[in-house]
Amino acid sequence: MSTTTPPKAIDGAIGFADERFATAGFLRGKMKKVFPDHWSFMLGEIALYSFIILLLSGTFLTLWFKPSMSEVVYHGTYTKLNGVSMSEAYSSTLHISFDVRGGLLMRQIHHWSAILFLASIMAHMLRIFFTGAYRKPREINWLIGITMFTVAILEGLFGYSLPDDLLSGTGLRITQGVLQSIPIVGSYLYFFAFGGEFPGHDFIPRLYTVHVLLIPGILLALVGAHFMILWFQGHTQFPGKNREEKSVMGKPFYPVFLIKTTAFFVFTFMVVALLGTFAQINPIWLFGPYTPDSITAGSQPDFYMGFLEGALRIMPNWETNLWGHTVSWNVLVPALVPLGLIMTGAAVWPFVEQWATGDRRIHHIADRPRNAPFRTAVGMAAVAFYGLLWLAGGNDVLADKFHISLYQTTWFFRVAVFVGPVIAYIVTKRICLGLQRKDAEEYEHGVESGIIKMLPSGEFIEVHEPVKENAEAVLSSKPPAPPLVSGEEEDENGIPSPASRGPLGRARRALNGAFATDDIPIGNGHAAGHGPGEPGAPGDDDGDAVVVHPETEGGEHRELSRG
């Protein structure tokens, strides 16, 4: 048995810290902390690494960007705009792009890392939702993630509004309309943000302060809180052989996970750098400076804002006059309702599920999406709702490229945004139940081998192979359906509770039924269509399954306690 001696530099640093802060005992346990190595856990790491790249590239850009709306006449490297009046913010962005060494590359790295940051957060949240990783004890971390995503959307909106080009100015005009449409306080918010009538003179300086100081500070605090809670509570893990609620299977933090995560950061930075080098994004010199009387034809926002623009485009022109004031529902509803529905629904979902199912257990084993058909179907309905609104944001581009009437595309999305989620819900639920049925049959009868066997009697049967041990552990990990709440709750005297007969009681029974029904227990597969000579089939005397034990992966560690 050999021992590994740490490098002299690391050993000296550890000794220096231990002599002053007694960190050896603390670090010894933390360095052995186990991290599951499933690929989907890397989605959160991509978000972290892209956020780090965002901070570093943004710091570089702040050295040359001038957040001022003072009017200047451009005389610079880009000769096509020489002599054009523009804001100092736009002029400094052109200076960064054409005159600062590496400025254009850093601008594009900053923009691509922002897109990757939002995309990885979305993918990470979908992974958490579909696997039920938000359940107790991780509800607080789920809320932190939703808050982080919402704040990141605002940060992205403010970021691409800073250059004051024609495309970003179009987005600012929409923002101004949304602020002004808010009843009672809308005008006050509008004048406070812009410092007067649109476009005003104070908006870019105020936006700059929020973009580089306030929101990054909030995001840093949320990221720190997220990882502190994650470190304390431990990771969830997918079901499998020797996977239990009280232990974690994976690799130790040092040295395996630390080396892997460092390499993954380098890989993420390489991808962002390649995108910034070869994939042009936001070429502001082609758009020109913003003027309130101009607009960019076919303009599209970044993908994370596309669903809000789509909602604005398909909303009918509804207005209401109340006591001499106009409420513009055509701006207010699409700007606030879709985002509110998605974010609020996601935030309250863990508590609604716990309330409906009565499940207050601690969960460290993630669900397979197929084993929670109602949750998975609702999630896919939300994805369809978001995706259709996102597509609706480009209805003019779709109409132009496919030679379809713009009004036809608008009406199509007006209908599809309601019908599409329903279809997605039904199809997803049927797929989940079909996969559950397939799992039940495999668990009971084994896996189809593709071999047809003829018995002495002349009967043809298909030979099934036993399910391998790890696959069997995954199949048998399916949790039982939550207990079905039937009837009305009664007190000790047998009198129905008024609460159970009210709207909340009826809603709970309906949700409970959605969670508890349409479940196919493992072991209840159907033997129809399988011959008696098949292993595990009814009437087979030699039907004992032979379980093949796969080799255990080297270096696998098991953490017996959490925290």
pLDDT, tens digit, for every residue of 308-331? Answer: 999 999 999 888 888 878 888 888
Q: What are the tens digits of pLDDT across the range 246-299? A: 878 888 888 888 899 999 999 999 999 999 999 999 999 999 998 888 777 777
Count of the separate structural domains present in the chain: 1
- Of 9-13, 125-129, 337-341, 355-359, which one has max mean pLDDT? 125-129
Residue predicted with more confidence, 201 or 420: 420
DSSP string of 250-304, one letter each residue: EEEIIIIIHHHHHHHHHHHHHHHHHHHHHS----HHHH-B--TT---TT----HH
Give the residue-averaged pLDDT of 88-111: 95
What is the Cα–Cα distance from 344 to 226, expressed in whole angstroms?
19
Count of CB atoms situated within 10 Å of the CB of 442: 18
Q: Is residue 345 part of a domain?
A: no
Q: Is residue 462 part of a domain?
A: no
Q: What is the pLDDT of residue 217?
A: 95
The proportion of the chain whose per-residue pLDDT surpasses 90, expressed as a percent, equals: 44
Q: What is the pLDDT of residue 114?
A: 96
Report the range of poorest mean pLDDT among 161-170, 213-222, 514-523: 514-523
Give the residue-averaged pLDDT of 442-469: 85
Q: Which residue, among 264, 261, 257, 349, has the nearest Cα to 556 in the 3D structure?
A: 257
Q: Which residue, among 322, 132, 142, 348, has the nearest Cα to 230 in the 3D structure?
A: 142
Residue predicted with more confidence, 239 or 526: 239
**Segment holding 85, helix H or strand E:** strand 85-87
Polymer length in residues for the chain: 563
For residue 268, give the CATH number of its domain.
1.20.810.10
Domain containing residue 196: 31-305
What is the Cα–Cα distance from 363 to 367, expressed in whole angstroms?
10
Q: Is residue 541 part of a domain?
A: no
Q: What is the pLDDT of residue 7?
A: 66
Q: pLDDT-based confidence at 193, cuts 50/70/90? A: confident
Asked whether the predicted pLDDT for residue 198 surpasses 50, the reply is yes
Q: Is residue 380 part of a domain?
A: no
Give the residue-averaged pLDDT of 472-484: 77
Asked whether the predicted pLDDT for residue 424 surpasses 60, the reply is yes
Q: What is the pLDDT of residue 490?
A: 61
pTM, two decimal places: 0.85
Q: Is residue 323 part of a domain?
A: no
Q: Is residue 388 part of a domain?
A: no
Q: What is the pLDDT of residue 502?
A: 73
Q: Is residue 54 part of a domain?
A: yes
Mean per-residue pLDDT of the chain: 84
Give the residue-averaged pLDDT of 64-78: 92
Q: Is residue 213 part of a domain?
A: yes
